[in-house]
Amino acid sequence: MIETKHLTKVFGNLTAVDDLNLFIKQGDIFGFIGPNGAGKTTTMRILVTLMEPTRGHALIDGLDVTRNGQKVRRIIGYMPDFMGVYDDLKVFEYLEFFAAAFGIERSKRKSIVEGVLELTDLQSKKSATVDSLSRGMQQRLGLARVLIHDPKVLILDEPASGLDPRARIEIRELLKELKRMGKTIMISSHILSELEEICDHVGIIEHGQLVYSGTIEEIRPRLGIHTKVRVQVLDNQEKAIEILAALPQISQVQLCKNYISVTFREGENMDGIIARTLVNANIDVVAIQPEQLKLDDAFLQLTKGIVH
C-alpha cells in the first residue's frame, strides 16, 4: 500500500532521509520508530505530498506521490506532528470545514461528522470551541479530522506525544478500532514500547537510514531482550544459584533483592529448563518470569551503534 524506493531528501548538506526503502502491506499498522531528528517527519511529509524528494520515489496505493498528488490526497489522512487548529471554530464546524474541503456534499456532511465524532468519542464536545479542548481531546479531534473522508491510508506523526497515560491508551484503542476497519496505518514515534502492542511491523530509522525492519516478534531475540529471567524461590537461594550457574545454557546468575536474575547465553531462550532443574533439586519455585521487556533499552542499543 505504501512503498518507498531509494527515497532520499537532502537539506543543504544534511541528508535527512537516506536511500530509504519501505514496504507496508494493506491493512497493516506500521510503526516508524527513531530518535528525534532521524527523518521520520520528513519521510511522512514526502508521503503526504507536502515535500518533494530529492531522489527516489514514494508510492501510495500504486500512485506516485509527486506526480499524482491530487489523487493521493484523496486516499490519505495525515496528522502532522504539531497540529494547529482553527481556534475560533467549534468542533463540529471544524470537522465540517474539512468535510467541505474534501468536497463532500452538504447533505451528507452532518451524518459523516456525527459518525467520526462518535468514533472518537467527542460527541459531547460537539459545540465546544476547538481551543478549549485538552491536548488529548485535540489529538482525538485530529484523528476525527483525518477520518472525515474515509481514507484508505492513515499517516500519523507522533500522535501520542505529549499525552498523559490515559489519553495514550485512548488513542491506542482508537487505532486498534481503525485497524479493524481495514485501514493501513503508518504511525511514528520515538518510543518503541509505545507501539509494541499495536504494530504488526516496525521500521527503525536513524540518520535517515533504515536500521531495522520487521515484526516486533522478530526484533526481540535479535536484540537479546528475551534472555533474562527472574527466578523467585521459597528458600535455599544459595543452592539454587549454584545449580543454575552450572547449566551450560546460562551465562550469568545474579542475586538481586529477593529474586535471582538469570541471563541466558546468546540465542538461547529456555525458561522451561530452569523450572525442571530446580524442581528436580527439590527447591520450591515461587515464580519464573521474563524480566520486564526493556524494549526501549534495546532500541537505544540498536540506534547507538550507528554514529555518523
Partner 1 sequence: MKAESINLFLDFFNPARIFGPIFDKELRVSSRRKRNYLLRSAYIILLAVFILFMWLSVIGAGSKSSAIFQASRSSQIGKNAIIAIVWFQFIASQILAIVMLSSSISDEIRTGTLNVLMTTPVSSFKIVTGKLLSKLLQVLLLLAMSLPLLAIMRVFGGIPWNYVVFGLFITLTSVIFAGSLSLFLSIFNRYPYRVIILIFVGYFFIFGLLPFLCTQLSFSNSEVLAIFVNVNPFLAMVAAAEQKPANSINILIHCMIMLSASAVLLVFSIWKVRSAAFRDMIVRRKNIESKVLIKDVEDSERKHYYEYSDYIRKVYGIPIIWKERYCGNEYSERIIRVIGNPIVWKENYGYFFGKGKIDKIVTITIYLLCIFGIMLLLVLRNRLSIVMLSFTISGLYLILMLRLAISIAGSIAGEKEARTLPILLVTPLEDKDIILSKVKAALMRNISLLALYFVLRFFIYFSYSSQGIIRFSQIIYQIPISAASIISRVLFIVGCGAYFGVRMKNSMAAVIATIGIFLVEFILNYLFVLIFVRLMTPFSVAYYNIASIFVMTAVYTAAGLYLLKLSIQKLRCNIF
Ligand X SMILES: Nc1ncnc2c1ncn2[C@@H]1O[C@H](COP(=O)(O)OP(=O)(O)O)[C@@H](O)[C@H]1O
Q: Which residues contribute to the site for partner 1 (CB under 8 A)?
A: 45, 48-51, 70, 73-74, 76, 78, 80, 82-90, 92-93, 96-103, 106, 109, 126-129, 131-134, 145
User: Amino acid letter at 266?
Assistant: E
User: Amino acid letter at 133?
Assistant: L
Number of residues that bind ligand X (CB under 6 A): 11
Least CB distance from residue 38 to partner 1, whole Å?
16
For ligand X, the binding residues in 248-287 under the rule CB under 6 A are none
C-alpha cell at 248: 551450560
Chain residue whose CB lies nearest Mg ion: 41
Measured from the CB atom, the residue of 39 and 142 that comes closer to ligand X is: 39
3-state secondary structure at position 266: coil
Establish if 43 lies at the interface with Mg ion (CB under 5 A). Answer: no
For ligand X, the binding residues in 36-75 under the rule CB under 6 A are 36-42
Q: Are strands 63-64 and 55-60 parallel, antiparallel or unpaired?
A: antiparallel
Least CB distance from residue 11 to ligand X, whole Å?
3
Residues 199, 49: Cα–Cα separation, whole Å: 24
Tell me if 221 sits within 8 A of 269, measured CB to CB.
Answer: yes
Task: List Cβ neighbours of 298 (8 Å cut-off, separation of 6 or more).
Answer: 192, 219, 220, 223, 224, 225
Least CB distance from residue 99 to partner 1, whole Å?
8
Residues 116, 231: Cα–Cα separation, whole Å: 48
DSSP state of 265: P
Establish if 41 lies at the interface with Mg ion (CB under 5 A). Answer: yes
Query: Considering only residues 31, 34, 77, 159, which one is a binding residue for ligand X as defined by CB under 6 A?
Result: 34
Choose the contact partner of 76 out of ligand X, Mg ion, partner 1, none; CB within 5 to 8 A by kind: partner 1
Return residues touching ligand X (CB under 6 A): 11, 14, 16, 34, 36-42
